[in-house]
């Protein structure tokens, strides 16, 4: 199997984050994974100019709560985007399917309703090993990808407003 870092990106293609305020909501469930994703997102935002005081990080019990927390943040804080960080690992029941479906639809709905980017940095894996590979392991860090996406979407929104 090819060991590909899915999080590789061209740093020069990422917009300057200094004008943006970014919210991050991260699930506490599977914290070994979500902590690594959160660190990847925070580090990437800082590397691209988002000031520490313009980064608003909140923890929620689990991945299911991410859409609600994102909407609460967007309504209570002046934010340009929210990154949702979670990890759902397949178990023996259909719970995995229900959670993944609810979260992906919920994040999409919040983004559309609030007309601001809400980024899906949620791992949906078959096992813990796959999650670890995508939380700083051989396949990169989905938190890094979420931070890059947030900055790109913020820049797009700004450009559309200015045009």
* CATH number belonging to the domain at 19-162, selected among 3.40.50.720, 3.20.20.80, 3.40.50.960, 2.60.40.3710: 3.40.50.960
Of residues 118 and 9, more confidently modeled? 118
Q: Which two tokens stand for residue 129?
A: 């090993």
Measured between its terminal Cα atoms, the distance across the chain in Å is: 45
* C-alpha Rg value of the chain to the nearest Å: 15
Phi, psi (degrees; rounded to nearest 5) at 94: -80, 0
Contact in structure between 84 and 51 (CB atoms under 8 Å): no
Mean pLDDT of the chain: 95
The question of whether 95 is a catalytic residue gets the answer yes
Catalytic residue among 48, 56, 95, 139: 95
pTM: 0.95
The model's pLDDT over 87-107, given as tens digits with 9 standing for 90+, comes to: 999 988 888 899 999 999 999
The pLDDT > 70 percentage for the chain reads 98
pLDDT at 94: 85
pLDDT at 30: 97
Contact in structure between 22 and 45 (CB atoms under 8 Å): yes
The widest CA-to-CA distance across the chain, in whole angstroms, is 50
Tell me the average pLDDT across 47-66.
Answer: 98
**Chain centroid to CA 163: how far?**
27
The model's pLDDT over 6-42, given as tens digits with 9 standing for 90+, comes to: 788 899 999 999 999 999 999 999 999 999 999 999 9
Assign 3 a pLDDT band (cuts: 50, 70, 90).
low
Strand 81-89 and strand 135-137: the pairing is: unpaired
Smallest CA-to-CA distance from 150 within 124, 128, 107, 118 is with: 118
State the Cα–Cα distance between residues 148 and 50, nearest whole angstrom: 11
Assign 121 a pLDDT band (cuts: 50, 70, 90).
very high
State the Cα–Cα distance between residues 81 and 89, nearest whole angstrom: 26
């Amino acid at each position: 199997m090819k060991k590909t870092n899915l999080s590789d990106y061209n740093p020069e293609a990422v917009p300057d984050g200094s004008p943006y305020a970014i919210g991050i909501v991260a699930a506490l469930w599977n914290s070994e994974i979500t902590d690594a994703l959160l660190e990847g997102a925070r580090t990437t935002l800082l590397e691209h100019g988002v000031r520490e005081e313009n980064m608003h990080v909140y923890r929620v019990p689990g991945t299911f709560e991410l859409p609600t927390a994102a909407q609460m943040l967007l309504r209570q804080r002046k934010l340009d985007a929210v990154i949702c960080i979670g990890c759902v690992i397949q178990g023996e029941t259909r719970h995995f399917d229900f959670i993944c479906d609810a979260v992906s639809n919920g994040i999409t709905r919040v983004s559309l309703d609030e007309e601001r980017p809400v980024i899906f940095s949620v791992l949906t894996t078959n096992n813990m090993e796959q999650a670890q590979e995508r939380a700083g392991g051989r396949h990169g860090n989905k938190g890094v990808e979420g931070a890059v996406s947030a900055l790109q979407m913020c820049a797009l929104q700004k450009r559309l407003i200015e045009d």
